Each structure stands twice: as structure tokens, then as C-alpha cells.
Chain A
């Protein structure tokens, strides 16, 4: 391609970057900035004294310490459980593998409000573990009650983030030449030594990415800590929520939010560094590296992983299904019939069909926004690999680690006057969801866009195609499938999003998670049963989206 052509493409890249930059500025920086401005300069004068006060407060320090160590512990535990799973799914071929790969992603897109109570049931005194203990040991059996413990928080964090490790690390693992480990084995390394000395260093960028993302998610954990940790434990995010929604102490909330944001930016910085240091290495086709387990040891390893998945990931989901089928007279479909036919004709009662429809509509709109914003950001990043696009790329990830309540309140305070008066606008829901889904789009598209052979574009240019034509004729067909995958994943995330949605959702347009939340907010066994049925429905919708995209086998979705 000629020098002018390249320059044109750079110019185009800069123009493409404008959309994500403006999106981020209006819907993230401006709202969060407004909250900070209100918090730090309530009367127009900057008062940063509160930051010092907050940092010096021993109670805040203990919350910050807890936030930090539980996030570190959760991350370590998720890696510990997830890495063998990543290996099994990336390297072993067995029946149901692709189904399982889709299945482990379901928890990641489910809202905590749905799964929290299932976890309580599994960790409480009447859990299957305790039933088993009593059966074996009789009445003398100790009762294991993990509710309101750190263990419960850690287990739930592993549940939600297992897929991040499996997808991010497994994605690279499946492309790693298996003969490298073979070589190490023949040179005299034991299996473990070969992993430690060869695969581990090569996987390090993926492991570090996964760790940074899991850390990001668990550091800002809210629902899990509230529901499972009990009232004695709080993360910074929980304290921000409390300061904002209960105490109306915006200076405190802002100071805490800044504290959290610093931690989030730091972990993103680490993530970015590690991404750039990724060694170039020979990668091979994923299908060639997978094979059925060969030795007895490998078969046991696979079984062990399946047990972990069943116990840790499947059982909470099954509890939801089981409860949706539980009625006063044993198992039945009463909850489902009630959910699907009950028209209670009150303002906030949500007919199931309507919630599903709203979720689908909002999900699709959010997907569209995320695809446009994320697609442009990814395209700009490939045609212009300068600092700016890297900053935008990372910038788009910051909302993932920002307190939902800060964003939610920020939306309400900042977007309330012309020219951007979005008060009561149903648009806020897909925008909030897109804010969360966009980074996933970028992460899915970027590697595919980068992998397009530059010579293809050059060939098209030599044959007389304009830059736009090149994009349409070369990039688009190749990226099309990846875009579909990104769309499916964004959709699943948008449908399951709760934290930000609940702040901006309108009464007449509730989504499925909001409907579940409302049903759980009322007394009565029937309401609870219907909430469980709705949760199951939500699971089915998100699982379908995930399964559909896994069929496309682009293999990058959910990777960081």
C-alpha cells in the first residue's frame, strides 16, 4: 500500500476513534465526573479534605484491606480451579465438550440477585453436603454452615469468574503447540515440571489477563458480598453503595469511588503491560491440539474437572431449576404456569412474556450500540496502533470496574438537562448495558482484526479498492463471524445485567433481572417460586445466546 494510502487509513482511524471517545465521554466520564464534582465540591469550591479523612479512617482502611485480600484470594482460587478446567476444555476432546464450554459461561452473565439465594441453600445447614454427612455419620455429623463466611464469598467468586479463566487461558492454550511440552518431557521433565517450565511461562500473558480481570470483578464485588458475606463484611463497592443510597454522604461515596477507581486503573495498567509483553510464539490450529484423554491419569484429571464443574457451577444453577419446579405438593409446573399466565394487573407486576420481550429488545439495542462503539474502537485500534487507541481500548474497560451505583446516580444527575435530557428515557437502559458489554466486543474483535493478513488489504488496494471498499470486501467478511460472536456475548451480558439497569429501568419496561428482583421483594411462596422460574428462563435465554455463538467457533469470545 502506498504511503498516502496508509496516511489516509490513519486519518480514518482517528475519525473512527471519535465515536467511542464521545460515547465514553458522555456516558461514563461526564456522569462519574459529575458525581465526583458533587462529592468534592458541593458548593463549587474543591474540598479534597474528605479524601484524607477517608483514607485515615480505620474503618475504611479495614474495608479496603478486606476488599483487597478477598479479591486477591478470590483471584488466586479462581486460577487454581480454573486452570485445570482451561486445560481440560482446551486440550481434551470428549463428548459434550462444546456444550460444557458454553455451559461454564452461563454463571458469568447471570446477575447475583438470581444466584445468591441458590448459593445460600447450597452452603447452608440443609445443603446436600450436610444431608450426605448425616446419612453417613448419623446425627453426630457436624453441620457445615458456610453462609455469611468469607468462604461463601470466595466460592461464589469462583463460580462467577471460572469462565474468565477457562476462556482466556484456554483460548491461548488450545493454540499452543503441544509438542513444546512433549519436547520438555522427552528432555526429562516430569509432567508438572514441563507445565511449570514451558506451558506456564507461555500462558503467562493469558493468565495475567485473566487474573487482572477476575481481580477487577472481585475487587468491585457487590451482590455476592452483600448476600453471601453477611452484614459484617463489606467491600469498597458495598460502602459506596451504602454511602450513596443510605447515608446520602456523597463526599464519602466519591472518596471511596476514587479509591476504588485507582485500584481498578492500576490493575488495568498491569493488564496492559502484560498484554504488550506477550512473546510471539508459534500458534497452531485449535482442532489439532485437542485429543481424547489417553492415559488413566488423564481420564481421572478430566473426571476431576467435571466434578468441579458439576459441584461448583452446575449445582447452584440446578437449585434454581429445582426450586422453580417445587410446589407445595412436590414437583410440578405450577410456578411456571403462574409465571406464564398470571396477569395480576398491577402496575409493577411483570407478565413473564413482557419481561422477556423487554429484555430481548433492550438486549438487542445494547448489542447494537456495543457493536458500533466497540467495533469502531477495535477497527481504529488495528489501523492505528498508537497510544491513543490503546488508551481508548483500556478506557472502555474502566466502566467494568466502576461502581454501578456511581454510574447509575451519575446518569441521573448528569444527563438531566438539555441538550442531553435523558430523564425517563428508555434509551438509558441499553446505554448502561452497552457500557458493560462494549469491552467484550473490543476484546473479541481486536484479535481477529489484527490477524487479517495486511497483504490481503494491499492486494485489494492494488486491484483498485478504496479504503472503504477494502473494509467492506476484505475486513467485513472475515470479521463478520467474530462480530456475530461479539453480538451474542454482548447480548447475553446485556440480558443478564442488573446493577446498572436497576437504576435506570422504567416501571413499565422491566427486564428479566428486574422482574426477578421485584418478585423476590414480595412475601408469599408463590412469588418466590415464580422468581425461580423467571431465573430459570433468564438462564435459558443467556445460555442459548452463548451456545449459539460457541457454535460459530471463533474461539475468542470472553477472552481478555
Chain B
């Protein structure tokens, strides 16, 4: 059978991923075994503990239903591994974009559509917590997770991944152009960058909101609207969704003519992964100073039909099996520090150590107000 390029690439990547393990100086020599073992451990042991702790006589049901946003994805054999180990089938239900998924879950809280919701990020976390849709669960697997990512002390929301939002730039454009790649956000108001930037609407797009927050954190509540006014003068383009700015405006990926757009820290490795020809260098790059930390959480729904199964799934989602799969399916960085990054991420992805951040409770209180002010400044 002839393999097409993407398949060949993925196969190659899978092999590199496997081979990667050998280079890592971990106690266990075979990364594959280790992954499986850890997975097994997490699944076989921890949920049992949880069962013992919480609901002694309750057996997990046959199916656990995971509600999520449309960008969620995971390899089929990874979920099969969970099913093999626990006997629990996972049904994945995408509910639209992140905001829609959360709101839909809140509206149907009386008769939940599933057992867990994945995909609430730190910009919307407070709404989920205020609406009390999650039941607390402290997964034992949290011990491997970067403590910076754990935002809810009651563990109603468990961090699964980091997908920082950053400005991406078109490498080829800046190689040829007279201007340099901007160092930071304040460069963008320079007339040299006139007509080069494309962003998304914070009211309708989650990376758009993250980028707005990045500007608020950088310039302060007193300064960010001035900055945006200057961006408008500098001919910034605003689209409603990420795919429009990325495919229709970005000069590196489509027919657009903007060499600077809002996207993710993981977009460059994705471009390498899905390129038609093998690339030595990513066609796009990330401006680190513009990155805003986006953390995605999973939470067990209050009133879930299969809370035990849900807890096991949370544990599994923090396991290295799952965590090492999601970079290549969702283009995010794992929350589990033990998880190995695929080579294409190691090589082409930039994850800033100290991205811009705003406390999720503050975001929750001010979000609508900020978006409204932004809308008045930029769109009206």
C-alpha cells in the first residue's frame, strides 16, 4: 500500500517519539513500556483508591461521556488503551467552540449531557466555577503537574494542557523585508508594521481574548486602549475566528498578506508536521513577548451519571499516555511535567517560561467590561 506524505510523516514521528525515549536519561530504559506502565498504574491503581475513598460500593458504569470543544482530539488507540484497562468506553461529544461548550454545559446543568467537560480555559474558568457545574476531585496524578497550572484550590477544575497564545510571524516575509521581526507588543504601533498585523475578535474567539488580555497585562488597564487605538491607526485587521485569520489573512499559510497574526505557540510545529514536504525549519515563528498563558481544564460535572468512571478518565488524561499524545492531536503542551514532548515540538515549538498572565478571578470579573471597551475602541 502506498502511504501518502502525512501518513508517512506521522508514522515517522511516531517512531521518533518512541525512539526519543532512549535518549532520555530516565530510570526506565524503554519509554514505550514506561508509558504503558504509567498508564496502567494510573488507571489500575488510582481510581481504585478514589473508589475506596469516596463511593465504596459503587462500580464505574460502562461508558463515560466527555463533553468538550471542537478542537479536542486524541488518538484512537490512546482511548482504546483506557478502555482496555478499565472496561469503560469513552464517548467524546464536541459541543462547538470553547465558549459554546461551556455555556451549553451550564444551561443543561440540571440534566447534564455527559460526565465531564474538557476545554474550559483560564479565561473562562471563573464562570464555570461561579456556576458550580463541577464536582471537586483531586487526582493523585496532579503531583506530576506544574503547580503553576493548578488554579482552583478545591480541585474542581484539573489542568490538562497549556496552549499559549502568541503572535506568529511569517519567517520568509521577514527574511526578505526591510523590517525585523518585532521584539514585543509595543513595536506593533511602529508605522514600519503598518498593515502587517491580523488579530481575532475577543468577543468571539478564545485566542482573541487571550491576546487582548496580553495587551492589558503589558500596558495596564490605563494603557491598553491607547495601544489598541494605535493598532487601529496602524491598520490592524480583525477577524471573528482563528481559522479566518490563520488561513485567510496569514501570508505564511494561505493567500493572505499579513505576516503577523494571533495564533498559538504550537502553530509552528503544526506547520512542520502537516507540511507537504519535509521541512528543516518552521515556516512560521513565535514572538515570545506576546505570549499569554492559556491553560485548559477538565472538570467532573455535578450530577454526572458515572462519577467514578469520570474520575478514572481525569486520572488517565493526566497520565503520560494521554499527555504525550495531545501535542500532536491538539497542538498544546502537556501539563504533566513527566510527559515527553514529540521531537517536532522539541525542535520547532517555543514555550515561554514566563508568559503573560492575569488571575482567572480578575478575568472573570472584568472580562465583559474589557471586551465591551475593546469593541467600542476597535470596532465602532
Kindly list chain A residues whose C-beta atoms are within 8 Å of the C-beta of B104: 245, 409, 412, 503
- Specify which chain B residues have a CB less than 8 angstroms from the CB of A505 in the assembled complex: 94
Q: Which of B10, B91, B277 contacts A344 (CB 8 A)?
A: B10
> CB of A526 within 8 A of chain B?
yes
Residue among A337, A518, A526, A528 with the highest chain B CB neighbour number at 10 A:
A526
Contact present for A125 and B257 (CB under 8 Å): yes
Q: Which residues of B are found within 8 Å of A528, using beta-carbon distances? A: 247, 253-254
B75 at the binding interface (Cβ < 8 Å):
yes
Q: Which residues of A contact B127 (CB under 8 A)?
A: 248
CA distance A346 to B330 in the complex (A): 10
Could you tell me if A231 and B201 are in contact, using CB atoms closer than 8 angstroms? yes
Contact of B107 among A125, A231, A334, A409 (CB under 8 A): A409
Cα–Cα, bound, A335→B370 (Å):
42
B174 is an interface residue with CB less than 8 A from chain A: no
CA distance A520 to B70 in the complex (A): 11
- The yes or no answer to A117 lying at the interface (CB within 8 A) is yes
Smallest CB separation, A74 vs chain B (Å):
19
| CB within 8 Å of A: which B13-31 residues | none
**Bound state CA distance, A348 and B79, in angstroms?**
12
Q: Is B280's CB within 8 Å of the partner chain A?
A: no
How far is B110's CA from A423's CA once the two chains are assembled, in angstroms?
12
Please determine whether A424 and B91 come into contact, CB atoms closer than 8 angstroms. Answer: yes
Q: In whole angstroms, what is the CA distance A413 to B105 when docked? A: 10
The docked-state distance in angstroms from the alpha carbon of A416 to that of B204 is 27
Find the residue from A245, A409, A505 having the highest chain B CB count within 10 A: A245
Among residues 331 to 367 in chain A, which have CB atoms less than 8 Å away from a CB atom of chain B? Answer: 334, 337-338, 341-349
B152 contacts partner chain A, Cβ-Cβ < 8 Å: no
Size class of the A contact interface (CB-based, 8 Å) = 35 or more
Is A387 part of the binding interface, using a Cβ–Cβ cutoff of 8 Å? no
Instruction: Give 1 or 0 for each of B106-150: 1 = CB within 8 Å of chain A CB.
Output: 111011011000000000000100000000000000000000000
* Chain A hits for B96, CB < 8 A: 245, 502-503
- Residues from chain B with a CB closer than 8 A to the CB of A334 are 4-5, 276
In the assembly, what is the distance between CA of A250 and CA of B131, in Å? 14
A226 at the interface (CB under 8 A from B): yes
Indicate if A506 sits at the interface (CB-CB under 8 A).
yes
Determine the distance from Cα of A227 to Cα of B247 in the docked complex, in whole angstroms.
Answer: 12
Are A337 and B4 CB-contacts (below 8 A) given A520-B243, A520-B247?
yes
Does B222 reach chain A (CB closer than 8 Å)? no
Given A231-B203, A327-B276, A412-B113, A248 and B106 contact (CB-CB distance below 8 Å): yes
- Residues 218-243 of B at the A interface (beta carbon under 8 Å): 237-243
**Cβ proximity bits A517-532 to B, threshold 8 Å, 1 near / 0 not:** 1101111111110000
Give chain A residues whose Cβ lies under 8 Å from the Cβ of B244: 116-117, 120, 227
Query: Complex: how many Å from CA A147 to CA B249?
Result: 10
State which residues 421-439 of A face B: CB under 8 Å. Answer: 421, 423-424
A507 close to chain B: CB less than 8 A: yes
Docked-complex contact A348 and B92, CB < 8 angstroms: yes
Distance between Cα atoms of A120 and B258 in the complex (Å): 14
Contact between A341 and B7 (Cβ–Cβ < 8 Å)? yes
**A224-257 toward B: CB 8 Å interface, digit per residue (1/0)?**
0011001110000000001011111010000000
Please tell me if A38 contacts chain B, counting CB pairs below 8 Å: yes
Q: For the complex, is A178 an interface residue (Cβ under 8 Å from B)?
A: no
Q: CB distance B253 to A120 under 8 Å?
A: no
A348 touches B94 (CB 8 A): yes
Task: Give chain B nearest CB distance to A128 CB in angstroms.
Answer: 12
For residue A463, CB closer than 8 A to chain B, the reply is no
Residues of chain A with a CB closer than 8 A to B4's CB: 334, 337-338, 341-342
What is the chain B residue whose CB lies nearest that of A421? B111
Contact A346 B75, CB 8 Å, known A247-B368, A521-B243, A524-B270: yes
B residues less than 8 Å from A503 (CB atoms): 95-96, 104
Contacts of A341 in B (CB 8 A): 4, 7
Q: For residue A506, which residues in chain B have a CB less than 8 angstroms away from its CB?
A: 91, 93
A245 touching B77 by the CB < 8 A rule?
Answer: no
Determine whether the beta carbon of B253 is less than 8 Å from that of A523: yes
Q: Which of A245, A416, A518 contacts B99 (CB 8 A)?
A: A245
> How many chain B residues have a CB neighbour from A under 8 Å?
69
Q: Does the CB pair B379–A248 fall under 8 Å? A: no
Question: B100 interface residue, CB < 8 Å from A?
Answer: yes
A417 at the interface (CB under 8 A from B): yes
By the criterion CB–CB under 8 Å, are A227 and B99 in contact? Answer: no
Give chain B residues whose Cβ lies under 8 Å from the Cβ of A412: 104, 107-108, 113
**B65 interface residue, CB < 8 Å from A?**
yes
Partner of B238, one of A230, A246, A345, A409: A230
- The answer to the question of A261 belonging to the interface, with a C-beta cut-off of 8 Å to chain B, is no
Binding site secondary structure of chain B: mixed
Instruction: Tell me, rounded to whole Å, the shortest Cβ–Cβ distance linking B335 to chain A.
Output: 19
Within 8 A of A (CB), among B82-108: 91-97, 99-100, 102-104, 106-108
Residues from chain B with a CB closer than 8 A to the CB of A230 are: 238-240
CB neighbours (8 Å) of B331 from chain A are: 522-523
Given that A523-B270, A528-B253 are known contacts, is A349 also in contact with B276, CB under 8 Å in the complex?
no
Chain B: minimal CB distance from A38 (Å): 7
Q: For the complex, what is the distance from the CA of A246 to the CA of B243, rounded to whole Å?
A: 18
A136 in contact (CB, < 8 A): no
Measured CB to CB, the closest approach of chain A to B257, in angstroms, equals 6
- Nearest Cβ on chain A to B262's Cβ, whole angstroms: 12
The minimal Cβ–Cβ distance linking B163 to chain A, given in whole angstroms, is 12
Known contacts A347-B79, A424-B65, A524-B273, A413 near B108 by CB under 8 Å: yes
In whole Å, how far is B333's beta carbon from the nearest beta carbon of chain A?
15
- Cβ 8 A contact of A244, one of B65, B103, B203: B103
Q: Are B94 and A226 in contact (CB under 8 A)?
A: no
A73 CB to closest chain B CB (Å) equals 21
Partner of A38 from B76, B107, B246 at Cβ < 8 Å:
B107
Give Cα A502 to B97, complex, Å. Answer: 10
In the complex, A334→B333 CA distance in Å? 30
Interface assignment of B71: CB less than 8 Å from any CB of chain A? yes
CA distance A505 to B247 in the complex (A): 25
Minimum C-beta distance from A131 to chain B (A) = 12
Q: Which A residue sits closest to B95, measured CB to CB?
A: A503
Contact A231 B240 (CB under 8 A): yes
Instruction: Kindly list chain A residues whose C-beta atoms are within 8 Å of the C-beta of B237.
Output: 148
B379 CB contacts on chain A under 8 angstroms: 231-232
Note all chain A residues with C-beta closer than 8 A to B353.
none
How far is the CB of B345 from the nearest CB of chain A, in Å?
13
Asked if A126 is an interface residue, CB under 8 A from chain B, the answer is: yes
Q: Which residues of chain A are near B79, meaning CB under 8 Å?
A: 347
How long is the Cα–Cα vector from A523 to B204 in the complex, in angstroms? 19
Query: Given the complex, which residues of B lie within 8 Å of A337, measured CB to CB?
Result: 4
How far, in whole Å, are A525 and B96 apart by their CA atoms in the complex?
Answer: 23
Q: Which residues of A contact B271 (CB under 8 A)?
A: 523-525
Contacts of B107 in A (CB 8 A): 38, 248, 250, 409, 412-413
CA distance A226 to B7 in the complex (A): 34
A11-40 near B? 1/0 per residue, CB < 8 Å:
000000000000000000000000000100
Which residue of chain A has its CB nearest to the CB of B325?
A346
Q: Which residues of B contact A116 (CB under 8 A)?
A: 244
Which residues does chain B contribute within 8 Å of A517, judged by CB atoms? 70
A328 on the B face (CB < 8 A): yes
Q: How far is the CB of A462 from chain B (nearest CB, A)?
A: 57
Say whether B103 contacts A245, CB under 8 Å.
Answer: yes
Residue contacts A-B, CB under 8 angstroms, 17 given = A121-B248, A124-B255, A227-B240, A231-B203, A232-B380, A248-B127, A334-B4, A338-B6, A341-B4, A342-B6, A343-B7, A346-B74, A347-B92, A412-B108, A517-B70, A521-B243, A525-B276
* Interface residues of A, Cβ cutoff 8 Å to B: 38, 116-117, 120-121, 124-126, 147-148, 226-227, 230-232, 242, 244-248, 250, 327-329, 334, 337-338, 341-349, 409, 412-413, 416-417, 421, 423-424, 502-503, 505-508, 517-518, 520-528
Per CB-CB distance, the 9 closest pairs between chain A and chain B, nearest first, are A524-B274, A245-B100, A231-B201, A523-B270, A328-B276, A416-B111, A507-B92, A526-B274, A232-B379
Other CB < 8 Å A-B pairs besides A328-B276, A348-B73, 6 of them?
A226-B204, A231-B238, A247-B368, A334-B276, A348-B72, A506-B93
